[in-house]
Amino acid sequence: MLSNIKLLNKMIKILEIKKSQAFFLFFICLISAVAHISYNLLLKPVIDKSLISENNINFEYIKLFLLSVILYILFTFIRKISFLIINMKIEKKLNYKVSETISQMKINDFDSKKEGEKVAILSKKVPELKNFFDNSFEKIIFTPVNFLLTMAGILLIDYKTGIVIIPEVLISILIDFKYGNVIIDSSNEVFKAENELLSYQKEVIEDMENIKMTKNENYIYKNYSEKSEKYLRKTDKMLKDYQTAYIPGLLNEYLPTILLLAVGIFRVPANKMSYGTFLSSLNLVVGASLPFSHFLRTMTKLKGQKAKIDEISELFKQRNGKSEEKSKNETEEENKIIEMKNVSYTYINKKDEILKNIDMEILKNEKVAIIGKTGSGKTTLLKIILGLYKVEKGTVRVFNMNPEKNT
């Protein structure tokens, strides 16, 4: 459970989802789930009283029921629109992050194996992660909230039914968590094998002429075949692990409904459960068990994204570090008005240096006084700064430019 939360938190950091956005989405999901539970709770008395006699129908219940249905439809619409808008904003921001990260890499390093792998990861893996996020983000936030309120609603409608169904659901969740580490290990192995195969392909393409000259085609083909077979084996194993991990989701999808039907068959004819209780509970169970099984599968897929998320997260951390360093360096350079390093100067036909190994920095808004006795080089220093004298040794920068070229 904690590993899922950490992984989800890392993905949210990659996508740079703001806390205000996450809180807003959670609030909308909570209101939508409350509306869903409300109309199911109100369904019970409406059905029970209408079956007894038309004269016993409480129209206030019907009005509240219809209002809760309308609110549920309204908040469901708002929820889906909100997720769609935020997904579009995240996609735009993510595309900018990818292009900025690639632009910060040195162009001369693109031919190197390491930089080439980074560009491949950013251009291929990031869109894959974004597609997974688009299809899963709403399920990850809304489904657990709706599921917990649904279980509470079942207990409120009929606690005996809840006692039968809730333990089965908890067992399926525990089984799912058991398979979580298996999925993570399999996905890591596939990710590693895929990177090795892509790197080898790049090396072969870059060294194609030399391979033809040395006639090593058979050796290269053999290595490539071995790496391809390894990748396929790892992929097949991961698919089998995924299929096994779907079993808890399938249990949670159908077993609660089957259990409730079995309970209803025995209790409704014996007048131990009303029709309103049975139909309300059935509606809640069906409305929660199927989405929650999809949620379990989504969490299984999230575990399979771990290697990809770790790799992308590391690349973006490097990018942020470079950006901060670059910003710091640029700020320091902008603040330097005058900079002299190891400057020396000798007058024509003179042997002794009037200025020797001078280092000096004058920053923006800084006031500096040049003090010294007559002949100590004060005027000479000013003329060097103005570009009137050419220094024999060292560098002079004024507003980050060579003053000699601007006089």
305 DSSP 8-state letter = T
| pLDDT at position 275 | 85
User: Which strands make up the sheet holding 393-398, listed edge to edge?
Assistant: 355-363, 336-345, 393-398
Q: Are the C-beta atoms of residues 261 and 166 closer than 8 Å to each other?
A: no
Rg of the Cα atoms in the chain: 35
> What six digits make up the tokens of 167?
């333990």
Category of 236 on φ-ψ map: left (φ > 0), alpha (ψ -120 to 50) or beta: alpha
404 DSSP 8-state letter = G
CA atoms within 13 A on the CB side of 149: 19
pLDDT string in tens for the chain (407-residue length): 556 677 777 777 777 778 888 888 889 999 988 988 888 888 888 777 776 655 556 677 778 888 888 988 999 899 999 888 888 887 787 777 777 666 665 544 444 445 555 666 666 677 777 777 777 888 888 888 888 888 888 888 888 878 877 787 777 777 766 666 677 777 778 878 887 887 777 777 777 777 666 767 777 778 888 888 888 888 888 888 777 766 766 766 777 788 888 888 888 888 888 888 888 888 888 877 777 777 777 777 777 677 677 777 777 776 555 544 454 554 555 567 788 888 888 887 777 777 888 888 888 777 777 777 777 777 887 888 777 788 778 888 887 777 776 65
In DSSP terms, 28 is beta-bridged to: none
Q: Under 8 Å CB-to-CB from 288, ≥6 apart: which residues?
A: 146, 147, 150, 151
Question: What count of other Cβ atoms lies within 10 Å of the Cβ of residue 274?
Answer: 19
| pLDDT at position 78 | 92
398 DSSP 8-state letter = E
| pLDDT at position 249 | 62
pTM score = 0.59
From the number of C-beta atoms within 10 Å of its C-beta (0-12, 13-18, 19+), residue 3 rates as middle
- Tell me how far apart the 2 most distant CA atoms of the chain are, in Å: 123
* Domains and their CATH numbers in the chain: 2-304 (1.20.1560.10), 336-406 (3.40.50.300)
Cα separation values, 128 from 1, 46, 91, 165, Å: 24, 48, 12, 37
Alpha-carbon span 285 to 267, nearest angstrom: 17
From the number of C-beta atoms within 10 Å of its C-beta (0-12, 13-18, 19+), residue 333 rates as exposed
